[in-house]
Structure 1
């Protein structure tokens, strides 16, 4: 067998046990705070939030101000909520922290709103940590661990054999890809000329596509919880979402009316939300995790996939411009297209999904997975 020609990102595609351990650790250290703008202030690039750090006193445990460094996500939230250009704030964070403090504090003093600040303590009892998101007080918190457990209950209820294909966890989102060994179709036309860029195996030797679904959630304001049909090509284990069929729940709820300070989600609200996620998982499996649906999705891809690409560099440039891929991604798609040896629009689609599997940035990879079928159709039109 040919030696691998391209590599899969080593920091991604973690296992379910590793994901759950990470989520449990985060859950144990997390603290959510509702705070009026006037009670917050920046100091040395940190966000100081009153009554968020456990403090042992002679009369018991009290709460002292917490010191939370601003993550890039939280810094973006501060910029968006206070209408300060985020690129400017990032430059200040890197080059002029005192001016960052001045800017943030000046606009906080002029604001009468309350915000939800999602934080992670360095450890359970620490007064220091990281502000990982700066959000509206209407943001509906649906945590990754709860979403995952609710989805697993839905899988158990549906009674279909499902395996974990891969998991990714970033500061912005959680992604869990499920695949069923019971839901597979043959795709010889789609894969006859394709070769895995990772180990050289040929699609003609294993022309199988499996059905599955992608679970996605954000705890920090980057999109809704969602479930989407997902296909995996077995010869290379690249995957892509199917354009139709996504269901989900937007992270917007009623304005939080608790007093300022640490807040916990309503048990009644969370119970209803998690029941919804469980039932939507069951519906997703029953509607999309079947051979008929996967066969229709594959046939839809095959209609455009056979178009020969005679000018790969030009076609990939057109596709990249239309889908806003970076120059680095465009160059990687060309390299994967050449390694994949399928000189068709389908080969460009395969190159997009294999780049998605190989890059370090899981958020960028998700976007490429979800645009792969669009890349196919654009390539067929431009070829």
Structure 2
């Protein structure tokens, strides 16, 4: 099928949200569901032309809803480029250089490696575009994955996880949602499970409005639900304590619960999971979520984690600037984020290792890139340890 004159897609599902409400996230995910196309295709059916993925020779899917056309043109996201580099063993830095500076060379490289193993099969995750009648629209190539990748779509998984939260019996609320090309994040909090953290917050001021941790010393239990549809991480539930005075979040990554996206080999063509397969997967997600919530949303759990942090958090820093330099270097935090952390540390007024931890989490709140924010927040507790041991 030749599609040399595809239109730029004008109606492709939205892919981004930052600090959205749950209702907004659900609306975006519903839109994505309408545009999704998942197909197992051999290398012989895939080509790169002008930097876009062309699919040719894959059978259309006929359902009660009509015919789903697979052949078409799909514009790769950065995540898809990473998948292409990984599956074809092309150095990612080189692929990115070709993408920005020499697209014909990119086409030549990718196509040469695809021709090496024409029978090798991949899973292509995409969004269909909608163009004018009679003219193909350019869709979006979201990821190139193994043909054994097990689909756990955000929308179905979110509903199953929230059902698990409900079944746990704990009063909770969703405080914010993020969605990127890589991951979905849903932050959940239970103010019914809150403990005093006077030692942890002694002398701390919120860098956002100057409120005092001495006057608002509470932290509440919570967790963050994370999933990737494109191979950027397993479904997970990570415990997360929320500090009342500044809304900083402390994620306890060592206690994370994960469910990996690994399944059996899939047949070629458009993927359509059976109702039984989906039901079993989602029932497992609901059950795991219920168990995790009952563990993480307990006063005993929060108090134990608080006790682990308090001794290190109270350590005074003789040379805070050098300590922050050491912490950011140890944790591979970039120069721009380091400068922000130092500024937040000064504003927080807590000249301790705990103040460094707070500065990391408050800085994470200000980042517009949700993936970067989550990655930085996950470094807060390691930053506490690094600051306390540096002296």
Q: Shorter-chain TM-score: what band? A: over 0.9
1:308-323 equivalences under 5 Å are: 308-323=316-331
Rate the CA distance shift 1:123–1:153 in 2: closer, same or farther, 3 A: farther
349-358 or 93-102, which deviates more: 93-102
SS at match of 2:293: helix
In structure 2, C-alpha distance between the alignment counterparts of 1:63 and 1:149, rounded to whole Å: 29
Equivalent position of 1:4 in the other structure: none
Of 222, 232, 243, the match for 1:222: 232
Of 304, 312, 315, the match for 1:296: 304
Rate the CA distance shift 1:80–1:55 in 2: closer, same or farther, 3 A: closer
Rate the CA distance shift 1:139–1:11 in 2: closer, same or farther, 3 A: closer
Say if 2:160 and 2:285, in contact at 8 Å, map to a contact too. Answer: yes
In structure 2, C-alpha distance between the alignment counterparts of 1:121 and 1:249, rounded to whole Å: 28
Equivalent position of 2:56 in the other structure: 50
Of 344, 348, 356, the match for 2:356: 348
Equivalent position of 1:374 in the other structure: 382
In structure 1, C-alpha distance between the alignment counterparts of 2:200 and 2:121, rounded to whole Å: 53
In structure 1, C-alpha distance between the alignment counterparts of 2:151 and 2:86, rounded to whole Å: 19
Of 62, 77, 80, the match for 2:86: 80
SS at match of 2:72: strand
What number of residue pairs does the alignment pair up? 369
Rate the CA distance shift 1:55–1:283 in 2: closer, same or farther, 3 A: closer
272-281 or 46-55, which deviates more: 46-55
Equivalent position of 1:189 in the other structure: 199
Rate the CA distance shift 1:168–1:62 in 2: closer, same or farther, 3 A: closer
Say if 2:125 and 2:143, in contact at 8 Å, map to a contact too. Answer: yes
Equivalent position of 2:149 in the other structure: 139
TM-superposed deviation, 1:351: 0.5
SS at match of 1:310: coil
In structure 1, C-alpha distance between the alignment counterparts of 2:233 and 2:38, rounded to whole Å: 19
Deviations 1:117-175 (A, max 9, x none): 00011249964211010101011110111111001111111111101121111111101
Of 214, 219, 237, the match for 2:247: 237
Deviations 1:313-358 (A, max 9, x none): 2111111111111111111111110111111000000001111111
Say if 2:17 and 2:25, in contact at 8 Å, map to a contact too. Answer: no
TM-superposed deviation, 1:52: 6.8
SS at match of 2:175: strand
Under a length normalisation based on structure 2, what TM-score does the superposition of the two structures give?
Answer: 0.90
In structure 2, C-alpha distance between the alignment counterparts of 1:377 and 1:129, rounded to whole Å: 46
Rate the CA distance shift 1:11–1:199 in 2: closer, same or farther, 3 A: farther
In structure 2, C-alpha distance between the alignment counterparts of 1:61 and 1:366, rounded to whole Å: 40
Structure 1: gaps of 5 or more residues: 1-9
In structure 1, C-alpha distance between the alignment counterparts of 2:295 and 2:71, rounded to whole Å: 50
State yes or no: 1:172 paired with 2:203.
no
39-48 or 241-250, which deviates more: 241-250
Rate the CA distance shift 1:186–1:55 in 2: closer, same or farther, 3 A: closer
In structure 1, C-alpha distance between the alignment counterparts of 2:82 and 2:100, rounded to whole Å: 14
Equivalent position of 2:77 in the other structure: 71
Of 284, 295, 298, the match for 1:287: 295
In structure 1, C-alpha distance between the alignment counterparts of 2:154 and 2:203, rounded to whole Å: 40
SS at match of 1:276: helix
- CA RMSD, aligned part only? 2.0
Say if 2:32 and 2:127, in contact at 8 Å, map to a contact too. Answer: yes
Rate the CA distance shift 1:261–1:333 in 2: closer, same or farther, 3 A: same
TM-superposed deviation, 1:231: 0.4
Equivalent position of 1:16 in the other structure: 22
Say if 1:51 and 1:261, in contact at 8 Å, map to a contact too. Answer: no
Under a length normalisation based on structure 1, what TM-score does the superposition of the two structures give?
Answer: 0.92
235-244 or 351-360, which deviates more: 235-244
State yes or no: 1:128 paired with 2:134.
no
Rate the CA distance shift 1:31–1:63 in 2: closer, same or farther, 3 A: closer
In structure 1, C-alpha distance between the alignment counterparts of 2:219 and 2:70, rounded to whole Å: 56
Structure 2: gaps of 5 or more residues: 1-15
Say if 1:76 and 1:86, in contact at 8 Å, map to a contact too. Answer: yes
SS at match of 1:12: strand
In structure 1, C-alpha distance between the alignment counterparts of 2:295 and 2:61, rounded to whole Å: 52
Say if 1:11 and 1:360, in contact at 8 Å, map to a contact too. Answer: no
In structure 1, C-alpha distance between the alignment counterparts of 2:17 and 2:148, rounded to whole Å: 34
After superposing on structure 2, the runs of 4+ consecutive aligned residues of structure 1 that deviate more than 3 Å are: 51-56, 60-64, 123-127
